[in-house]
Structure 1
């Protein structure tokens, strides 16, 4: 049981976001992120995997359809009741907007037009962004590349919750609050945790979104904009699809840094559930990740998820789970058991 003084010191360290507040520095192993060595080992045994690498522009047709469908739905609810708007936002808007968010992720890896057409990739991601009502595409692209390169490093990997989040949201009720506010927390965390200069493309993204939102209000009405924004907020928050944020890198099985999800919702989110596969080979397009698993099955025998609803349930009600159950660095052998018993 901590004394008042010890609790105050702990809270202060949480505010300072010190990586050593949870465990002594000697308990951590500072090495390259784990997928680098895996990639080398897999390619050494299965060099034919290189043929899977590269873009697949068919995603263009999918996202054009999804964006147009979202604006059609926004037009249909322009005079609807608030109950209808929110219900449709949860059941349809959240699904489409989260799918478009996953497309932004895919396009952020230049998997629509390839590395030789960076402008086309950025323009397409901004197109995907339009029904989301808030500009996220370009900033996400920038910070997500750091997530791949520095997976598990507290400051560089901005997907890792801050120590303050870990301290405040540890019980079922507070974890539910964290999930509800997740779109806001996840959206602003990169800017105060690892701030970077604003780029020209981010300004273009912001301007395009402002114009799109104004046009929606002028042509369709305020309720249509609320439908689009609600679809984005709900889809990235307390929603089964949003459980992929948790299923991917939280420590459900010991020190396993990345988990995959093999379930029926993968096609909606461009196979984002094949997450070990994706981190092993981020330049293989979404529709070829299942082929990767089939070519090298011996490398994909780790524990995996089959239900994102169960992921949410476990995250909320398992006392070992929560924002704090996210790997920072890599724990040395034996430290995990020591932490569980403390």
Structure 2
């Protein structure tokens, strides 16, 4: 990783992110990986099925008591919604309809957003580009916690609270770290989302709306699937800033666990990332990785060496827009 200097408690590095060089080496050795790039023909059908499944669930929960609303929101609906946020992650890389149909991808992400209950997809797209381009970039990569988060959430109890509050920090942190002008797509995303929320409320009452939004908040917070937030880039071993996870929850999360492979080849859809690992096995097999997101959460909370400060940061120069 090169020379490191401690500034605050983040791991400051003065080298480029490792994914660019590894991508060049792998493509030079295995040019056939380029054939894995391009749209996933099944993604739009899987996502559509999940959206309609949640609409059916809205009808089924409309007469349940509040305790069962929240139970099913956490145990079922929130899992679907969290999975849909990861579908939106894939769609943000244009893998639903391909790079030549960018608008179709943007609008399909708005459609995938509907069960989440809160407008999300357009803002995610806007900031996720920076996460790839400026991985760990100071004041650019809003995936990095703030100094306050690193300083305050430093004990097991506080780290547990931080995990519960992850949806709040992920939504508010960009406004503080790297505020950007609201785009037309964000406005349209909000108009469509709130219109559907009102239609659901008009048809079936408040409980289905709460079911959707509560599921999103609960399952993006302290939940086994949320282990991916910590597993992806928190520094469990010094010098390694991205980690893959090869456990069974990849089946529910569009292979987001193949995160090393994803950052090396962001234009390859999640369904084909296991093929990247198989083809270029010598580049991935010996890298540190995770097998359990539950274990990740446990270690994060109870290991004194881990916390929101356990991230690599670097100074990045802004790239010129093409």
Alignment TM-score, normalising by the size of structure 2: 0.94
1:284-316 residue CA offsets vs partner (Å, 9 max, x unmatched):
111110011110000002111111100010010
Is 1:157 the counterpart of 2:126? The answer is no
- Counting only pairs closer than 5 Å after superposition, residues 244-323 of structure 1 correspond to structure 2 as 244-300=228-284, 301-323=286-308
Task: Determine if contact 1:33/1:149 at 8 Å carries over to the other structure.
Answer: no
Alignment TM-score, normalising by the size of structure 1: 0.88
1:121-178 residue CA offsets vs partner (Å, 9 max, x unmatched):
0111000111111101010011001000000112111000000100110001111111
Task: Please tell me whether Structure 1 or Structure 2 has the larger radius of gyration of its CA atoms.
Answer: 1
Question: Structure 2: how far apart are the matches of 1:50 and 1:62?
Answer: 24
Task: Determine if contact 1:248/1:273 at 8 Å carries over to the other structure.
Answer: yes
Measured after TM superposition, the shift of residue 255 of structure 1 is 1.6
1:156-203 residue CA offsets vs partner (Å, 9 max, x unmatched):
110000001001100011111111111011111112210111111010
Question: Structure 2: how far apart are the matches of 1:159 and 1:229?
Answer: 22
Question: Structure 2: how far apart are the matches of 1:183 and 1:299?
Answer: 33
Is 1:194 the counterpart of 2:181? The answer is no
**Residue segments in structure 2 that go unaligned for 5+ positions in a row:** 1-5, 316-322
Runs of 4+ in 1 over 4 A off after TM superposition: none
Paired residues in the alignment total 309
- Counting only pairs closer than 5 Å after superposition, residues 63-82 of structure 1 correspond to structure 2 as 63-82=47-66
**Residue segments in structure 1 that go unaligned for 5+ positions in a row:** 1-18, 331-342
Question: Structure 1: how far apart are the matches of 2:95 and 2:116?
Answer: 21
Question: Structure 1: how far apart are the matches of 2:221 and 2:13?
Answer: 32
Task: Determine if contact 1:152/1:328 at 8 Å carries over to the other structure.
Answer: yes
Task: Determine if contact 2:83/2:252 at 8 Å carries over to the other structure.
Answer: yes
Aligned Cα root-mean-square deviation (Å): 1.3
- Counting only pairs closer than 5 Å after superposition, residues 105-254 of structure 1 correspond to structure 2 as 105-254=89-238
1:65-120 residue CA offsets vs partner (Å, 9 max, x unmatched):
00010111111111101111111111101110011000000000000111111110
Question: Structure 2: how far apart are the matches of 1:264 and 1:22?
Answer: 33
Task: Determine if contact 1:28/1:329 at 8 Å carries over to the other structure.
Answer: yes
Aligned to 2:21: 37
Question: Structure 2: how far apart are the matches of 1:242 and 1:79?
Answer: 29
